[in-house]
Amino acid sequence: MIAAMVKELEIRNRELESEVVETIYFGGGTPSLLTIDELQRLLDTIYKNYQVSESPEITLEANPDDLSEHLILQLSKSPINRLSIGIQSFFEEDLQKMHRAHSSDEAKNCLSMATRHFDNITIDLMYGIPNMSNKRWKENLQIAFGFGVNHISSYALTVEPKTALASFIKQGKYPNVDEELAREHFDILVSETEKQGFVQYEISNFGKPTYFSKHNTSYWLSKTYLGIGPSAHSFNKTHRSWNVANNTIYIKALQENTLPSETEELTLKDRFNEYVMTGLRTIWGISLNRVEQEFGIKCREQLVASAEKFIKQGLLLIEKNTTEQRQHLKTTSKGKFLADGLASELFILN
């Protein structure tokens, strides 16, 4: 697999010929299972074939049960300078419901060790878990703050089909997800992180100033990115491509110097709708000037017209910068929780 990924990096180096690589992200699956030598081999290939900035953000995703003190120490001496740790909850009951492999103690021990060697750490926390009281959700957040983490990604629990959770709910063994509970948890999340100096720069992402995720921000700002490995997606502003999800087929294709991927050209409508979806989720909002420049004056007028009723409802607002003569369409604090639904109402459908 590593050899195939090295080959893909080599074959595709021209796709970023005019770009400077600012972020490298080892994620999807469990990259923390790779050895330091394997990670270094991939990094060496990137540096050999691409133009990398002097101080790139290099993130490794990991679960608490994968991060031993020895591995954390090794990673801290490598070029990796950011950890993304899938905590989800600090309470045993929640972790068992979500069928997480790690325990509450492992989550806390892992963070205790990681924060001694890494300054730039983000953790994932899940809210909206049935039977999780507001008190317990606040305790989850306070525990995270206690470790001094500078970034938190937090998502509402969703029930995916054909999962154990979906089966338990169907059998009546477990209560269904309560949207009102999720809304209460979201409001607590926004309030408590703000008290600690976090900035909600994207609906689900909270970072201390200078600790925003450069990698995730590049997605939201529609920058070009290259995805390497099975199932990985890539984007170059006009086209999107994705690799085959089958490991065996992926490896065989690369052994034959073939890229195992499919590509689609994004229509103007696709690109507009995607920008609306991502932009509305961020602190920067949707630049009406950019909409006019990239998609035309008619798109801008239609967007503003579609947004009007939500502006009257106090869910959206148009922020004007008179100095730069720029306008941005953003969610209000009341509209943040509804950002995805609001975006879909602003899409161009034909």
- Band the pLDDT of 30: cuts 50, 70, 90: confident
Q: What average pLDDT does range 112-118 have in this prediction?
A: 97
Query: 306-332 pLDDT, tens per residue?
Result: 999 999 999 999 999 866 678 999 999
Per-residue confidence (pLDDT) for residue 165, from 0 to 100: 65
Q: How many CB atoms lie within 10 A of CB 346?
A: 22
Q: By three-state DSSP, how is residue 136 classified?
A: helix
Contact partners, residue 134, CB within 8 Å, separation at least 6: 184, 185, 188
Query: Would you say residue 4 has pLDDT above 90?
Result: yes
When the pLDDT of each residue in the chain is averaged and rounded to a whole number, the result is 93
All structural domains of the chain: 20-220 (3.30.750.200), 268-346 (1.10.10.10)
- Band the pLDDT of 166: cuts 50, 70, 90: low
Query: 215-270 pLDDT, tens per residue?
Result: 999 999 889 999 999 999 999 999 999 999 999 999 999 999 999 999 999 999 99
Q: What angle do CA 163, 169, 172 make, to 5 degrees?
A: 145
Task: Give the whole-angstrom CA distance, residue 30 versus residue 130.
Answer: 27
Instruction: Determine contact, residues 232/28, Cβ cutoff 8 Å.
Output: yes
Query: Would you say residue 121 has pLDDT above 70?
Result: yes
pTM (global) more than 0.95: no
Q: How many CB atoms lie within 10 A of CB 342?
A: 23
Q: What residue ranges in 189-276 does DSSP mark as E strands?
A: 199-202, 205-207, 233-235, 239-243, 261-265
